Amino acid sequence: MEIEEFIEAIENEFEEVQNGSLTPDFSIRDMEGWSSMHALLIIALVDNHFEILLNGEDLRSVQTIQELYDLIQTKLKVG
Amino acid sequence: MAKFQTDGYKISAIYTCVPKNKLRTEDYEWISVEERKMFAKTTGIIERRVATEGVTCSDLCYKAADELLNEFDIRDKIDLVLFVSQSPDYFLPATSIVLQNRLGITKSAMAFDVNLGCSGYVYGLSIAANFLKNEGIRNVLLLAGDKSTISTSYKDKSTYPLFGDAGTATLIQKFDDVENNGNWYFNMYSDGSGADAIRIEEGHSRYPYKPEKKEVYELIDKGIERTKMHLALDGMKVFNFALKEVTPSIRELLDFSRKEVSDVDCFLLHQANLLINESIRKKLKLEASKFPISIDEFGNTSSASIPLTICSRMSEIDWSKPKTILMSGFGVGLSWANLLLKMTRPALKLLEHD
């Protein structure tokens, strides 16, 4: 999955986020009303699309969608 | 390895009792309206049933069991009373023994409690099955449930709106018709390294109850304030655990029983939160119709969630053929357990308590 598709999946996951409004350098915690529930939804989304299970620490270690995407790619390579 | 196959029993009846009192997620004023909406979307919980002061889990189980025993007329033939709960009436004696007397069950029945939560119903059935192997044991009454709401802090958004109360009674009997019931396959796991993921830390013997500590609230995070005698839940840890362990354990049990996912008519999962259950469903590539959900109406009801789902969602469906059912309980401990069995329609009833 390319980062464009990943961004689209995130936009589809959150009703309050407009399609086409997110960019790779968007900081995920700047999402409107960000809470631990958002974190769980992102972890579920990543697990569903990449079969990679992130923990809380993984998520805290990244800021932007690009960093999150890169982390997933690194984990996919490690297998 | 706790993986085994056994046969010769049936589940004859499942009765569930929930409190009449309803609380709705949209009315939880501790958090903002947006947060309430997000909570309802993620957990799936629209409303839940909460027992009023003075009503315990054993009262709910009593009502379910009393109706069941009236129907089946076997108070003098119950051989084992099992109470699976983490909200007993007393530190001691065991609530199962209190209920044996209150229900008018014969003194010749054995009775004991099992301290398990979300995995407890499957564990209870495994204990029932193993006792029923013995010649003298023919009828087991499994009582499972919790009044989780007694230990949650109103100021804790991670627990207070999540839990509902319920009590259940299940009658398991010796039954030799293998054609219609077949084998029961179990696999069960424990991982105490996650003991702090869901815990009430103080008030028992490790850190005994001290009245002054009841007032000491700690700010854990935004919207999360509780004492050490409240139920603490690390949502992220529990979520990671469920996503990591449950699906592989279900696949393992399917392999063990030489079944495919498509052979199973119905997956009855503990109702932990909708996001967890939906993630597991997608991993198993299952259609939603095989995955009944009751958390929307009742919240997370701990060991009562599986029997509550059967009583509230499966009493009207077509049972003309026996169903292959896979039950999966997972949570506090950490502890998880699955059971695959063939089931003919048991007597089902959903009751309410004032």
B55 in Cβ contact with B145 (< 8 Å):
no
Kindly give the confidence (pLDDT) of every residue in chain B, 354 residues in length, as a single tens digit, with 9 standing for 90 and above.
Answer: 899 999 889 999 999 999 999 999 999 999 999 999 999 999 999 999 999 999 999 999 999 999 999 999 999 999 999 999 999 999 999 999 999 999 999 999 999 999 999 999 999 999 999 999 999 999 999 999 999 999 999 999 999 999 999 999 999 999 877 666 679 999 999 999 999 999 999 999 999 998 888 889 999 999 999 999 999 999 999 999 999 999 999 999 999 999 999 999 999 999 999 999 999 999 999 999 999 999 999 999 999 999 999 999 999 999 999 999 999 999 999 999 999 999 999 999 999 999
Q: Do A43 and B239 touch (CB under 8 A)?
A: yes
Query: How many domains in chain A?
Result: 1
Answer left, alpha or beta for residue B154, where phi above 0 means left and psi between -120 and 50 means alpha: alpha
What residue ranges define each of the domains in chain B, with the CATH number in brackets? 8-178 (3.40.47.10), 181-205+225-345 (3.40.47.10)
Cβ-based neighbours of B151, under 8 Å, separated by 6 or more: B87, B200, B229, B230, B231
Chain A residues in contact with B40 by the CB 8 A cut-off are none
Question: How many angstroms separate the Cα of B53 from the Cα of each of A33, B137, B150, B214?
Answer: 35, 37, 9, 18
ipTM: 0.89
pTM, 2 dp:
0.95
Mutate to test the interface with A, among B193, B236, B277, B278 (most CBs of A within 10 A): B236
B48 in Cβ contact with B298 (< 8 Å):
yes
Which domain does A48 fall in, by range?
Answer: 3-78
Structure tokens at B77: 């033939």
B300 in Cβ contact with B71 (< 8 Å):
no
Place of tokens 């362990």: B245
Answer left, alpha or beta for residue A33, where phi above 0 means left and psi between -120 and 50 means alpha: left
Size of interface A-B (CB pairs under 8 A): 46
The CATH number assigned to the domain holding A35 equals 1.10.1200.10
Structure tokens at B300: 């997370």
Q: Are strands B139-146 and B198-200 parallel, antiparallel or unpaired?
A: unpaired
Q: Does B282 reach chain A within 8 Å, measured CB to CB?
A: yes
